[in-house]
């Protein structure tokens, strides 16, 4: 399932700074309203991916998710005004996981981290874990930063909220032990 990014006029369907700020600002409410309060179970990557897809759809924004398959990089695209958004979201949630989230995000400085940014882990053997930041407080060092996040689990669970310092989070094999942000610039 794929769809090309729709042609657009000036400023339409673009991930602008204002829309990215809106994305960050809406993170906590989205997770709490759509998963925690309603007791909807979700795995860790689907928590992050669901918010991304729903936010993009509500704001008429495209998404392009890159993934590796058949020995090459490929792209799955959701149009800015995708009509069958439920099918597109289902496809994303079934076919993409934490390692795909890593592939579509970039490390950022701890001081730049905001709600909606992610803490990622990668395990030997191909697994990973996604945590969605809802608050971060800097410390004396980057490792002392206090991060409050929601995470789903496998098997799917109602997201739980945790607070840990960055130095206490197990990043596994992720070499750059910093928060990560979606590559919004690659979505349009």
137, β-bridge pairs:
146
29 domain-assigned: yes
116 domain-assigned: yes
> pTM score, two decimals?
0.91
DSSP letter, residue 127? -
pLDDT digits (tens, 9 = 90+) for 39-53: 999 999 999 999 999
Q: What's the token pair of residue 116?
A: 């909606």
9 domain-assigned: no
4 domain-assigned: no
pLDDT at 126: 82
pLDDT at 174: 87
CA distance 48 to 42: 10
What count of other Cβ atoms lies within 10 Å of the Cβ of residue 188? 15
37 domain-assigned: yes
164, 47 contact by CB (below 8 A): no
CA distance 159 to 1: 28
pLDDT digits (tens, 9 = 90+) for 136-161: 999 999 999 999 999 999 999 999 99
Helix (H, G, I), strand (E, B) or coil at 158: coil
12 domain-assigned: no
In the chain, how many domains are there? 1
Nearest Cα to Cα of residue 161 among 136, 132, 182: 132
5 domain-assigned: no
41 domain-assigned: yes
Maximum separation of any 2 CA atoms in the chain, in Å: 48
- The parent domain of residue 173 ranges over 17-186
CA distance 120 to 169: 9
pLDDT at 12: 60
Which parts of the chain sit beneath pLDDT 70? 1-12
């Amino acid at each position: 399932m794929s769809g090309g990014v729709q042609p657009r006029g000036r400023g339409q369907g673009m991930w602008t700074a204002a829309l990215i700020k809106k994305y960050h600002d809406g993170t906590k409410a989205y997770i709490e309203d759509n998963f925690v309060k309603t007791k909807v179970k979700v795995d860790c990557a689907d928590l992050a991916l669901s918010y991304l897809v729903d936010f993009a759809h509500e704001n008429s924004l495209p998404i392009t998710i890159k993934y590796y398959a058949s020995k090459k990089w490929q792209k799955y695209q959701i149009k800015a005004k995708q009509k069958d958004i439920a099918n597109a979201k289902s496809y994303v949630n079934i076919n993409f996981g934490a390692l795909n989230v890593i592939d579509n995000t970039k490390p950022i400085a701890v001081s730049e981290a905001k709600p909606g940014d992610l803490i990622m882990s990668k395990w030997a053997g191909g697994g990973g874990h996604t945590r969605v930041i809802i608050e971060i407080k800097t410390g004396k060092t980057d490792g002392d930063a206090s991060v409050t996040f929601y995470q789903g689990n496998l098997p799917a669970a109602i997201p739980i909220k945790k607070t840990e310092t960055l130095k206490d989070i197990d990043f596994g094999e992720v070499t750059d032990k910093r928060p990560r942000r979606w590559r919004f610039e690659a979505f349009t």
